[in-house]
Chain A
Amino acid sequence: MPQSMDDPALAAAAQQGDLDAFNQLVIHYQKLAYHVAYRILSDADAAADATQDAFLRAYKAIGQYRGGSFKAWILRIVTNTCYDQLRAKQRRPTSSLDALLVTEPSPGPSFVDQAESPEAYAERQELSRTIQTGIDALPPDQRVALTLCDVAGMDYQEIAEVTRVSLGTVKSRISRARTKLRDYLLTQQELLPAQYRLRDNP
């Protein structure tokens, strides 16, 4: 998702209290923000809450936006909100109880896509679930770095600024995370839909 040409102007208007201008930015970035939150939190409802919370926080803190990439700025807030949610979840791990109650992996939210056959739809759901399971196994810092890189399409420098760590740390986090996720996906090859298997895997 490229940075909109209007971002600086819209952000400047939002800083003057123009809520409509801010909401144009919301509309532009909400899909990305939600997807990042979903990959980090691995839960549709929690991701929706975090996204809403992040945009609210962003509007209140719009005065602190000092130009630069609005995408990086908003994703930092989204990421921080997700970290808060993860910490809150750790403090009261009700999810472990929920997990006990749900024997099957939860059906997950529907990935409705127009003009998609039921088979393709089911396969895509299966792929998304498998990948999410692999991501869930990563430590939060690696999960965030990999998500910002591969889902949000940010470069290492931006990720370093968003997560406030050094470039070297970003590099090693992504390398470890991707290697682990790769290893997991390779063990799931047989479970993955055929079209998503790595055919020429030696």
Chain B
Amino acid sequence: MLDFLRRRTRSEHKRIAAVLSAYVDGELAAQDQQRVEAHLAQCDACAGELRTLQYTKALLAEAPTPPIPRSFVVRRADVEAPADRAPRRLFGLSTRLAYGYLKGATALVTVAFALVVAGDLIAQLGFGGAMLAPAPAEQAIVVEKEAEKVVEEAVEKEVAVQATEGMQEGDKETPTLVVEGTPEMEVQVEKVVVPTAVPLPVERSAVPTASPPVLEKEEIVQAPAAPEAGTTQDAAVEDLSPTEAAPVEETYGVSEISAPSPMPTATLPPSPLPSPTQTSTPSVTLEPAVTAVTERRGYGRPGILRIAEIGLGTTVLILLVATLAVRRQQSR
């Protein structure tokens, strides 16, 4: 009988002990609370346990914590600087991932750029047989510069040049060029490659048939990419004299711009072909001999190559800047 009572009391102790903390916090239901209080009234051990728990709670509640070291008010700069970063997550990528992708893309485009440039070099040096020829880029620069000067002369004289070749028949390309004596003409003609100033690779005579004979002159002339390409390279060729460039005038015939460009940098809107009647009165018709020279040069591929080089180079630069920017953001 006593044994039974003792065991019952022990289990009651355990039960009470389990809820004593909740009792301290006033978290017991009214019924349980009454039971605990009834037990505590006749059990000194449990009453002592209760006191130690209350004491612990009181100490923790009273124990000082250090005063706040500063005010934690949110400054506008704190929430607006991160807001600027928010768009970077719009792509669903963390900056770390975006940085990785950008790095990969930059490497890829750089390799493509190098391949195109290398291919261009090999095509000009290897197949052209002119191993000692100046670098293709320099050739182009020279040619462009010459063309520019010629055009300047032409502009001064207010001469409109009309280069007419037979219209396209079969796959023989017979472009028609109408050049007006306007200042814009300068831009177009700078793209004309001059054969006389440089050794000419023979294989270039293979003109891509894709090049339409139509010259969208008025629009091309205003394309923003072309003058940039010309002007940035001007410095290298300032020693050229006008006399060297003189023969160039005869080569007005085909502009490489007439080739449809696959690169985004040469987004030239199609325009109606200016009719011959629009040209100003003094006009020059190119001799057939000049036409032959022009054909031999073959402007389609160098044009595409040049545009590809410029486009890829620009893309490499943009990607490089973007990659560096993301890396900076990431390291913050």
Task: Show the binding face of A for B, using Cβ within 8 Å.
Answer: 19, 22-23, 26-27, 30-31, 33-35, 38-39, 44, 48, 51-52, 55-56, 59-60, 108-113, 124-125, 127-128, 131-132, 135, 146, 149-151, 153, 155-156, 171, 174-175, 178-179, 181-182, 185-186, 196, 198, 200-202
Which residue of chain A lies nearest to B48 when distances are taken between CB atoms in the complex?
Answer: A202
CB distance from B61 to the nearest CB of A (A): 5
Q: Interface segment, B62-70, B98-106, B125-133?
A: B62-70
Task: Flag if A156 contacts B72 (CB, 8 Å).
Answer: no
Task: Using A56-B79, A124-B64, A155-B27 as known contacts, say yes or no to A178 and B72 having CB atoms under 8 A apart.
Answer: no
CA distance A185 to B62 in the complex (A): 14
Task: Flag if A34 contacts B72 (CB, 8 Å).
Answer: yes
| Consensus secondary structure, chain A interface | helix
| Extra contacts besides A30-B71, A59-B79, A185-B59 (13): CB < 8 Å | A19-B76, A23-B73, A30-B72, A34-B68, A48-B70, A56-B79, A109-B69, A111-B67, A151-B65, A178-B24, A179-B53, A185-B56, A186-B52
CB distance from A153 to the nearest CB of B (A): 8
Q: Mind listing 25 A-B residue pairs with CB under 8 Å?
A: A19-B79, A23-B74, A26-B71, A30-B73, A34-B65, A34-B72, A38-B66, A44-B66, A48-B68, A48-B70, A125-B64, A127-B64, A131-B63, A149-B25, A151-B61, A153-B61, A155-B25, A156-B27, A178-B24, A179-B21, A182-B53, A182-B56, A196-B59, A198-B55, A200-B51
Taking the complex as formed, is B167 at the interface, i.e. its CB lies under 8 A from any CB of chain A?
no
A153: B residues at CB distance < 8 A: 61
Task: Flag if A127 contacts B51 (CB, 8 Å).
Answer: no
Task: Using A59-B79, A179-B21 as known contacts, say yes or no to A111 and B64 having CB atoms under 8 A apart.
Answer: yes
B76: A residues at CB distance < 8 A: 19
B19: A residues at CB distance < 8 A: 175
A155: B residues at CB distance < 8 A: 25, 27
Task: Using A108-B66, A111-B64, A178-B21 as known contacts, say yes or no to A56 and B52 having CB atoms under 8 A apart.
Answer: no
CA distance A59 to B72 in the complex (A): 12
B239: A residues at CB distance < 8 A: none
Which residue of chain B lies nearest to A34 when distances are taken between CB atoms in the complex?
Answer: B68
Task: Using A110-B66, A127-B63, A128-B63 as known contacts, say yes or no to A178 and B74 having CB atoms under 8 A apart.
Answer: no
